[in-house]
Amino acid sequence: MKYILMMHCPRTGYELMGAWSKKAVADHIAFMHALNKDLREAGELAAAEGLADPKQAVIVRVGKDGAPVTDGVFPESKEFLAGYWIVDVESEKRAHEIAARASSAPGADGKPFIIPIEVRQVMSAPPDEFVV
């Protein structure tokens, strides 16, 4: 079963992290590397990506002539997707365990940051006509 684990961060998160100490940043990065390494070695990692600062993000819609019309990110969005993992695991419980570990990544003071991780199942299950 595949799940996507989406790590949300507040709009100010990217700026806040820019003010962390060198050690806090290094510890945070090392934590994420270790997590990805463990997932890869467990044969559970299908994909993982971090996303660039939301300041660079735009919203795109199609215009009248079919050309893209871009717009800035709406100020009312308080949270942004900072990165995601897609894991291929035996159970939902296991996906939750991985999410909890990701949530415990260290913050500025070295303590768990308790980042909210949204867990959603990826629609890759077999249709069940055959399952009797």
**Cβ closest to other proteins, residue 18 vs residue 126:** 126
CB of 87 to other proteins, least distance (A): 10
Identify the three-state secondary structure at position 125: coil
* Burial (CB count <10 Å: 0-12, 13-18, 19+), residue 88: middle
Sheet holding 2-10, edge to edge: 45-50, 79-88, 2-10, 117-121
Q: Token digits for 35? A: 């997590």
Q: Return the residues of window 35-94 that contact other proteins according to CB under 8 A.
A: 40-47, 88, 90
Among 49, 65, 71, 129, binds other proteins (CB under 8 A): 129
Which residue, chain included where needed, has tokens 């990165």?
83
**Cβ closest to other proteins, residue 43 vs residue 72:** 43
**Cβ closest to other proteins, residue 23 vs residue 37:** 37
**Cβ closest to other proteins, residue 69 vs residue 122:** 122
Q: Which residues bind other proteins (CB under 8 A)?
A: 1, 40-47, 88, 90, 121-132
